[in-house]
Amino acid sequence: MQALNTPYFHIQETDLDKDVSILKQALTDNWGNWIVGYSVKTNSLPWLLCYMKEQGFYAEIVSGTEYRLAKRLGFPDNQIIYNGPIKEKEIFTDILLAGGLVNLDSSEEPAWLSELSARFPDRTFSVGLRVNCDIASLCPDEVLVEEEGGRFGYCYENGALAEVIRSLSALPNVKISGLHLHSSTQSRTVNVYGALARTAVKIAQEYGLKLSYVDMGGGYFGGRDDKPDYRDYFPAICRELRAAFDPKETVLIAEPGVSLISRATTFATTVLDVKHIRNHVFLVTDGSRTNLNPLVTRHVYPHHIEYTDAPEGRPTVPSQWVTGFTCMEYDRLFEIKDGPALQKGDRIIYDTAGGYTMCLNPLFIHYFPPVWVTKRDGSLFKARDQWDVEEFMQKNYTEGDTLHE
Ligand X SMILES: *Cc1c(COP(=O)(O)O)cnc(C)c1O
User: What is the DSSP pairing of strand 303-306 with strand 174-180?
Assistant: unpaired
Nearer to ligand X, 19 or 255 (CB): 255
> Which is catalytic among the residues 50, 139, 155, 327?
327
Nearer to ligand X, 110 or 256 (CB): 256
E strand residue ranges, 88-188: 101-104, 125-132, 154-155, 174-180
Q: Rounded to an integer, what distance in angstroms lies between the CA atom of residue 238 and that of residue 252?
A: 9
Does 324 interact with ligand X (rule: CB under 6 A)? no
Q: Rounded to an integer, what distance in angstroms lies between the CA atom of residue 362 and that of residue 216?
A: 30
Say if CB 267 and CB 350 are below 8 A apart: yes
327 labelled catalytic: yes
Phi then psi for 262, rounded to 5 degrees? -70, -35
Q: Rounded to an integer, what distance in angstroms lies between the CA atom of residue 174 and that of residue 110?
A: 10
Does 258 interact with ligand X (rule: CB under 6 A)? yes
Task: Supply the minimum distance, in Å, between the C-beta of residue 218 and ligand X.
Answer: 3
Does 223 interact with ligand X (rule: CB under 6 A)? no
Q: Rounded to an integer, what distance in angstroms lies between the CA atom of residue 233 and that of residue 193?
A: 7
Window contacting ligand X (CB under 6 A); options: 1-9, 138-146, 250-258, 271-279: 250-258
Does 262 interact with ligand X (rule: CB under 6 A)? no
Instruction: Print the binding letters for residues 7-46 with ligand X: x by CB under 6 A, - otherwise.
Output: --------------------------------x-xx----
Q: Which of 7, 178, 194, 219 binds ligand X (CB under 6 A)?
A: 219
Does 187 interact with ligand X (rule: CB under 6 A)? no
Q: Rounded to an integer, what distance in angstroms lies between the CA atom of residue 287 and that of residue 227?
A: 27
* Residue 296 region by backbone torsions, left for phi larger than 0, else alpha for psi between -120 and 50, else beta: left
Task: Supply the minimum distance, in Å, between the C-beta of residue 43 and ligand X.
Answer: 8
Is 133 buried (19+), middle (13-18) or exposed (0-12) by CB count in 10 A? buried
Does 183 interact with ligand X (rule: CB under 6 A)? no
Does 217 interact with ligand X (rule: CB under 6 A)? yes
Q: Which amino acid is at 118?
A: A
Task: Supply the minimum distance, in Å, between the C-beta of residue 71 and ligand X.
Answer: 19
Does 150 interact with ligand X (rule: CB under 6 A)? no
Strand partners for 180: 130, 215
Q: Which three-class secondary structure state does DSSP give residue 274? A: strand
Does 87 interact with ligand X (rule: CB under 6 A)? no
User: What is the DSSP pairing of strand 332-340 with strand 316-323?
Assistant: antiparallel
- Compute how many other C-beta atoms are within 10 angstroms of the C-beta atom of residue 4: 13
Does 60 interact with ligand X (rule: CB under 6 A)? yes
Task: Supply the minimum distance, in Å, between the C-beta of residue 78 and ligand X.
Answer: 19
Task: Supply the minimum distance, in Å, between the C-beta of residue 35 and ligand X.
Answer: 13
Does 79 interact with ligand X (rule: CB under 6 A)? no
Window contacting ligand X (CB under 6 A); options: 1-9, 255-263, 268-276, 393-401: 255-263
How many binding residues for ligand X (CB under 6 A)?
A: 17
Which active-site residues does the annotation give? Answer: 327
Residues at the contact surface with ligand X, assessed by CB under 6 A: 39, 41-42, 60, 62, 83, 182, 184, 217-220, 255-259
